[in-house]
């Protein structure tokens, strides 16, 4: 039985990956930090066979202890402060966790090492935010980076550190440059889920409007459940490498609104959306569109869920859970 250690186990991707790997017969361990972490119960219910191990990306000894305890075949480093807007307000903490956390996890893997004939394989969650003010469209593995946020800068550090450990210590360390990936488990702070959840509440008469920032930026949105398969495929290759994971399609926030409101049965979204400058960012990433040719050809990976299916899946899930909350008489938010 293969053993996998996942950091960021309580996040959207950690939850998908834990279930995906359990389905492949892995014994899955999730790194969890903080006393009485409120999300621990949720992940334990979702993945009953999952083992939680204590550790913090800010604390190298705890990471070494976790890797020693688990003796993993594969480590997936998904833990990060991942909300770009927050990274402007907590830039130092973002550098500490999203950036230096990668270095610490790689050090733990290097120090513990694994069996001589079966060294630990490492996956780093790199991000399309590294492309930032894009130099070309679509973006591929060779496109230069130009990050636009403390989050993007920290991800570039993590990406190059992963490359460096691969080259300097011959680690099987790969990075997935994942473009935005969403789904019903996405946090409510991200724009897609904020829209589908608010829309469900509008439909149920629980809310009047959605306050949003910049509607003109465009993103290459895929389904998170599809993307965790690409992470796993990278670690099954003989050679470690970097791969763009994306759909190759891009849509503006306006287009997301159009599709979501149409699915919910509205002709026009504009009366329901107001602009709130609090959601504008000091520097914006205007357009992302990934070229995943390498992942398609080398990993034989391709996304399965289309843009429209993704929006529908998220809206329907939010409608069902908001309806259930309303029926249980939970207080209005």
177 belongs to the binding site for ligand F7E (CB under 6 A)? no
- Cα→Cα distances 241→75, 100, 227, Å: 15, 21, 16
Comparison of 62 and 149: residue with beta carbon closer to ligand F7E: 149
Binding to ligand F7E (CB under 6 A): which residues in 40-69? Answer: none
Going 211 to 217 to 222 to 224, the CA torsion angle's sign is negative
Cα→Cα distances 66→75, 94, 101, Å: 11, 22, 14
CA-CA distance, 295 to 273, in Å (whole number)? 37
Q: Binding ligand F7E by CB under 6 A: which of 108, 191, 233, 273?
A: 191
**Per-residue contact flags (x/-) with ligand F7E for residues 256 to 295, judged by CB under 6 A:** -----------------------x-x--xx----------
- Catalytic member of 62, 127, 174, 198: 127
Q: State the nearest-atom distance from the C-beta of 157 to ligand F7E, in Å.
A: 14
Site for ligand F7E in 103-122 (CB under 6 A): none
| 315 included as an active-site residue | no
Q: Which of 3, 33, 58, 194 binds ligand F7E (CB under 6 A)?
A: 194
CA-wise closest residue to 225 among 148, 154, 137, 304: 304
Q: Please give the structure tokens belonging to residue 192.
A: 């897609």
- Is residue 129 flagged as an active site residue? yes
Does 128 bind ligand F7E (CB under 6 A)? Our answer is: yes
Q: Do 237 and 298 contact (CB within 8 A), yes or no?
A: yes
Question: Helix or strand or coil: residue 271?
Answer: helix
- Which pair of structure tokens corresponds to residue 35? 């006393």
Catalytic machinery residues: 127, 129, 151
Task: Tell me which residues touch ligand F7E (CB under 6 A).
Answer: 82, 84-85, 127-129, 179-180, 189-192, 194, 212-214, 217, 219, 253, 279, 281, 284-285
């Amino acid at each position: 039985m293969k053993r996998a250690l996942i950091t960021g186990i309580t996040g959207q991707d950690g939850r998908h990956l834990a279930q995906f790997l359990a389905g492949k017969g892995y014994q899955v361990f999730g790194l969890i930090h903080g006393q009485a972490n409120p999300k621990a119960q949720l992940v334990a219910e979702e993945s009953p066979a999952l083992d939680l191990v204590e550790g913090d990306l800010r604390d190298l000894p705890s990471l070494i202890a976790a890797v020693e305890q688990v003796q993993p075949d594969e480590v997936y480093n998904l833990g990060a402060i991942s909300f770009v807007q927050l990274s402007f307000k907590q830039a130092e903490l973002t550098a500490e966790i999203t950036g230096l956390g990668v270095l610490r996890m790689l050090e733990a893997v290097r120090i513990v090492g694994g069996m001589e004939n079966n060294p630990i394989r490492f996956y780093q969650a790199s991000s399309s935010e590294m492309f930032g003010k894009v130099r070309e469209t679509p973006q591929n593995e060779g496109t230069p980076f130009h990050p636009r946020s403390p989050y993007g800068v920290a991800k570039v550090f993590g990406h190059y550190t992963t490359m460096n450990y691969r080259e300097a210590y011959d680690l099987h360390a790969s990075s997935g440059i994942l473009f935005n990936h969403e789904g019903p488990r996405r946090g409510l702070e991200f724009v897609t889920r904020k829209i589908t959840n608010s829309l469900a509440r509008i439909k149920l008469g629980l809310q009047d409007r959605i306050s949003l920032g910049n509607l003109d930026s465009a993103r290459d949105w895929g389904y998170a459940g599809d993307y965790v398969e690409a992470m796993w495929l990278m670690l099954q290759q003989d050679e470690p490498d970097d791969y763009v994971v994306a759909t190759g399609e891009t849509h503006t926030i306006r287009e997301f609104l159009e599709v979501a409101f149409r699915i919910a049965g509205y002709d026009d979204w504009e009366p329901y959306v107001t602009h709130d400058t609090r959601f504008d960012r000091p520097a914006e990433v205007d357009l992302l569109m990934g070229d995943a040719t390498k992942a398609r050809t080398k990993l034989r990976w391709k996304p399965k869920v289309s843009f429209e299916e993704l929006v529908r899946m998220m809206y329907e899930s939010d409608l069902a859970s908001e309806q259930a909350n309303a029926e249980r008489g939970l207080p209005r938010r």
